[in-house]
Amino acid sequence: MNIVLLEPEIPDNTGNIGRSCVATNTRLHLIEPLGFKLSEKRIKRAGMDYWEKLDLTVYSDLEDFYEKNPKAKEHMYFATTKAHHTYKDVLYDCDEYIMFGKESAGIPEEILAENEENCIRIPMWGDIRSLNLSNSVAIILYEALSQHGFEKMQLTGELHRLSYK
């Protein structure tokens, strides 16, 4: 899987998303401009010691991203509150790309209009504008992975029995 962040602004969100990407063996694509430096403490703190294991690529702009990832044009979903379809309406391929926009404005309207059939949303109650970016990524990413039975992921844990007196 591939998570694409278009012009992310908050380092904590990107750090959390990076950690989720490491935990799911997912590539993270960051499209500039970024609202922070990748060397910032906040991004490293949120990503913890997982950040060094992240499969990360940074692109100068959207054109650079598409040039280096030609498959993305055919395998991209766009997460937005403006979509007609929910993230559960999609059958995801293993090499899908899912784009999320910057925290303050989302994905630009012109990009959404050009890709309306591939726009997906997370249902929300009432007049809430949006969910936190890192939460949104986790919700959609784990749905996509669940459709493939969490292939090659650790599915069970082990409880260490302690004796209590």
| CB of 1 closer than 8 Å to CB of 145 | yes
The three-class DSSP label of residue 58 is strand
* Four-point Cα dihedral 83, 118, 63, 52, nearest 10: 90
111 labelled as ligand-binding? no
C-alpha 49/C-alpha 67 separation (Å) is 31
Token readout for 163 is 């004796």
The three-class DSSP label of residue 100 is strand
Q: Is the dihedral of CA 145, 151, 153, 158 positive or negative?
A: positive
101 labelled as ligand-binding? yes
Chain Cα centroid distance, residue 26 = 9
C-alpha 76/C-alpha 150 separation (Å) is 20
128 labelled as ligand-binding? no
Binding-site residue numbers for S-adenosyl-L-methionine are 101, 122, 130
Binding-site residue numbers are 101, 122, 130
